[in-house]
């Protein structure tokens, strides 16, 4: 006989309290000891991934795309995740770099050109503090201020001093020292030095190296006219830099969709100031495929350029805006933004994650493949500390939650099933009716998917089948 509904809900709440370390009253564990116990039991930060997976870029050992997040499970204290356009990378607390996904041009960095469906260690790299993924190349910043690169080098994007084709192992970028931040675009790379100057190398057909020319460079060149740079972001054929501690933002490169934000569609090979931002204090920037966005200290987001899939965060305009549009209001709680080609991902201060734009492969993480023009929450994902976006795929570093078992819903009404699932940290999925001969189960759950006792990720959906009246009706 099933447990009474009130007792089941109370039991689930009690289990949740134990998992979360909720203190009782009499005989409670001292706060310091409780905190130490919680820290000891907490799993290390892992990478959550969702969206397109044709190259194995989600790192879960498959090539199956999915619209809900799952943890890669290769943990070991991940501190940062980065995404290319088919491959992904993570930097770990021990200074090593691991990568997975597309590797036909050596972008995984394990010395092969074989796609990897799960993380493998990048050969010969230690002391790494930051990683970045370009279209088909990768970057790593070491604690000594040097930059290392691997992958495709047909455009000079590895900074070797020559065009060398595919390089499947990491090697240093020529002549760079004192670097504090890196960013990788499509065929070009950026490095911010400790003196506030910005350097670039690789393809330059649209002026994306920002040095006043359109000639490619196989070695780093200084970007013209910028100093006191504090944040950088590279995209498809353009880049942005935040200067003077967030006082202004500058952009350069291709501009056919207004992605430079200066009110024109003319490309610029030297930085131009993004206009009409007012006095906002800029804390972050992101660049996708022919669009860009900035984040201000109050949580508001401004964006401009291509908006065919709602990636700017508002209803798409008939003509792409060539100046910043205020798409997300102050008070959103957003502390970080990341841009894929046609979608964006944002981290909130409470550890939850938002996404908007193209959702063809589930890259918004809300269980659907329907694109949206405003932020939706990634289902079930909490404890996030950093986000990244690749080509139709999204990522977050977070502390995984306990994996809950699916409760037994047999004999529940639809309303009761919903309450039980909510208490277990799950959601009610599809509800179907199945006429049966047993009138005792009319309106009650007769089957469920996944089965009771199955371990699933928090926020997962459970579908149920409810018995209906027989064709002849019930007596």
- Domain residue ranges of the chain, discontinuous segments joined by +: 46-398, 403-475
Core vs surface per residue 455-469: b (16+ CB within 10 A) or e: ebbbbbbbebbbbee
Q: Quote the pLDDT of residue 475.
A: 66
Using an 8 Å Cβ cutoff, are 141 and 159 in contact? no
How many residues are recorded in the chain? 475
Q: Which fold has domain 46-398?
A: Methylamine Dehydrogenase; Chain H (2.130.10)
- How remote is the C-alpha of 130 from its chain's centroid? 15
The secondary structure of the chain in percent helix, strand, coil, rounded to multiples of 5, reads: 10, 40, 50
pTM: 0.81
Q: Decide: helix, strand or coil at residue 222.
A: strand
Q: How far is CA 228 from CA 148, 192, 247, in A?
A: 24, 10, 10
Question: First-to-last CA distance in the chain?
Answer: 24
**Which CATH number describes the domain made up of 403-475?**
3.30.10.20
Gap between the Cα atoms of 238 and 123, Å rounded = 30
Gap between the Cα atoms of 357 and 372, Å rounded = 5
Residue pLDDT tens, the chain, 475 long: 344 344 333 333 333 322 222 222 233 333 443 333 333 346 789 999 999 999 999 999 999 999 999 898 766 789 999 999 999 999 999 999 999 999 999 999 999 999 999 999 999 999 999 999 999 999 999 999 999 999 999 999 999 999 999 999 999 999 999 999 999 999 999 999 999 999 999 999 999 999 999 999 999 999 999 999 999 999 999 999 999 989 999 999 999 999 999 999 999 999 999 999 988 899 999 999 999 999 999 999 999 999 999 999 998 878 999 999 999 999 999 999 999 999 999 999 999 999 999 999 999 999 999 999 999 999 989 999 999 999 999 999 999 877 779 999 999 999 999 999 988 888 899 999 887 767 777 889 999 999 999 988 777 789 999 988 777 777 6
Q: Quote the pLDDT of residue 461.
A: 87
Q: What is the dihedral of CA 199, 139, 360, 252, to 10 degrees?
A: 0
Gap between the Cα atoms of 219 and 216, Å rounded = 9
**DSSP state, residue 73:** -
């Amino acid at each position: 006989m099933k447990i009474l509904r009130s007792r089941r809900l109370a039991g689930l709440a009690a289990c949740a309290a134990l998992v979360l370390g909720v203190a009782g009253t009499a005989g409670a564990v001292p706060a310091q000891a409780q905190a130490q116990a919680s820290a000891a039991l907490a799993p290390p930060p892992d990478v959550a991934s969702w969206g397109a997976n044709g190259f194995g870029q989600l790192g879960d050992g498959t090539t199956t795309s999915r619209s809900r997040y799952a943890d890669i499970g290769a943990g070991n204290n991940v501190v940062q995740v980065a995404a290319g356009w088919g491959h992904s990378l993570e930097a770990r607390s021990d200074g090593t770099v691991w990568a997975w996904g597309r590797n036909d041009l050596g972008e995984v960095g394990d010395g092969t050109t074989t796609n990897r469906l799960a993380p493998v260690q990048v050969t010969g790299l230690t002391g790494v503090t930051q990683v970045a993924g370009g279209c088909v190349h990768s970057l790593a910043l070491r604690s000594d201020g040097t930059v290392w690169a691997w992958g495709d080098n047909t455009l000079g994007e590895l900074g070797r001093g020559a065009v060398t084709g595919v390089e499947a192992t990491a090697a240093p970028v020529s002549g760079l020292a004192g670097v504090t931040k890196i960013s990788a675009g499509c065929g070009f790379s950026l490095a911010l030095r400790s003196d506030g100057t910005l350097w670039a190398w690789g393809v330059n057909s649209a002026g994306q190296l920002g040095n006043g020319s359109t000639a490619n460079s196989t070695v780093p060149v200084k970007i013209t006219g910028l100093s006191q740079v504090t944040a950088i972001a590279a995209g498809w054929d353009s880049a942005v830099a935040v200067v003077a501690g967030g006082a202004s933002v500058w952009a350069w490169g291709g501009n056919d969709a207004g992605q430079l934000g200066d009110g024109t569609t003319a490309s610029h090979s030297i930085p131009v100031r993004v206009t009409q931002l007012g006095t906002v204090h800029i804390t972050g920037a992101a660049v996708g495929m022919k669009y860009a966005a900035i984040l201000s200290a109050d949580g508001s987001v401004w964006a401009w350029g291509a908006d065919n899939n709602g990636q700017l965060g508002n209803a798409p305009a008939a003509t792409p805006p060539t100046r910043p549009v205020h798409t997300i209001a102050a008070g959103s709680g957003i502390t970080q933004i990341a841009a894929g080609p046609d979608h964006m991902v944002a981290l909130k201060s409470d550890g939850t994650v938002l996404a908007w734009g193209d959702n063809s492969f589930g890259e918004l993480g809300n269980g659907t493949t329907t694109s949206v023009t405003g932020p939706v929450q990634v289902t079930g994902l909490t404890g996030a500390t950093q986000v990244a976006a690749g080509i139709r795929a999204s990522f977050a570093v977070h502390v995984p939650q306990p994996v809950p078992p699916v409760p037994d819903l047999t004999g529940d009404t639809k309303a009761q099933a919903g309450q039980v699932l909510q208490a277990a940290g799950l959601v009610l999925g599809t509800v179907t009716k199945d006429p049966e001969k047993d009138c005792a189960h009319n309106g009650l759950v007769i089957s469920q998917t996944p089965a009771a006792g199955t371990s699933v990720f928090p926020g997962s959906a459970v579908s149920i089948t409810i018995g209906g009246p027989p064709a002849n009706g019930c007596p």
